[in-house]
Amino acid sequence: MKWTIDKKHEGMTVRHYLQNVRGFSRRLLRSIKHDGGFIKVNGKPEHLAFLLTAGDVLAVRFPEEKKGVYMQPEPVPLSIVYEDDAILVLNKPAKMATIPSRHHPTGTLANGILHHYKTNDIPYTIHVVTRLDRNTSGLVLVAKHKYSHSILSADQKAGGIRRKYQAIVEGDLAQPKGSICLPIGRKDGSIIERTVTQAGKKATTHYTTVRKTNEHTFVDIELETGRTHQIRVHFAHIGHPLAGDNLYGGSCQRINRQALHCCELILHHPITKKRLVFTSALPNDMAKLFA
């Protein structure tokens, strides 16, 4: 990546310019320095304390990225919503893991993305910004390289990336609109389950009822925090587990996965800073519960 230094940035050190103007994290700068990347000014290698002058051309090359043992290209069908040189937005179906693991080493979204990269000669690996559980469907944001990932991760921590969900919960919610503000932590004796506990981290879920049947309530949801299994744990705790979520007490009689879908993703592009809004339609298995 290259930038020509403006007059207003003259006198900045390379470190100050990259961190404060271009959004590089300290971790990313350390990686460039120690893992095989480079920083050059006017074609000459320079250190981070070098003082920049207007008209200088600052070039950065990132180290080659290492892929995990399960990160292998595989021709997995992908639903790509948006793609450019910095980011990728996909619509993930239910029953597909986001990244490979010991339990799901193949057939994941990441395996499919790596195949897409290989087919199109894209020299990157996977940096998932907004991950979804295997049985949750909807929009997933992926950064293509360390630079965009660094910026998006900082935006996410600051609340600059918003996700909206649709869920179908069991029973009739007493309040048509509300917020669930209960701390969530790991459940004792389990490496998977979470629970509401005072020893947990702050978690806030806002919901609005859209429609009802005799058995279920359809809700729109927006998260203020992003704890593991947050939506599932919060609604189960108040007596309304998600339909199909047998881990937290939901029935699989009408749907065989948790009825949860990420329907909207809002962010500012890491490079252009343009506001982007993406949407995803409710999948058929959830829609059938209200057919």
Do 79 and 138 contact (CB within 8 A), yes or no?
Answer: no
- 133 is an active site residue: yes
Catalytic residue chosen out of the listed positions 56, 85, 121, 133: 133
> Which three-class secondary structure string do you get for the chain?
CEEECCHHHCCCEHHHHHHHHCCCCHHHHHHHHHCCCEEEECCEECCCCCECCCCCEEEEECCCCCCCCCCCCCCCCCCEEEECCCEEEEEECCCCCCCCCCCCCCCCHHHHHHHHHHHCCCCCCCEECCCCCCCCEEEEEEECCHHHHHHHHHHHHCCCCEEEEEEEEECCCCCCEEEEECCEEECCCCCCCEEECCCCECCEEEEEEEEECCCEEEEEEEECCCCCCHHHHHHHHCCCCECCCHHHCCCCCCCCCCCEEEEEEEEECCCCCCEEEEECCCCHHHHHHHC
Catalytic residue ranges: 133
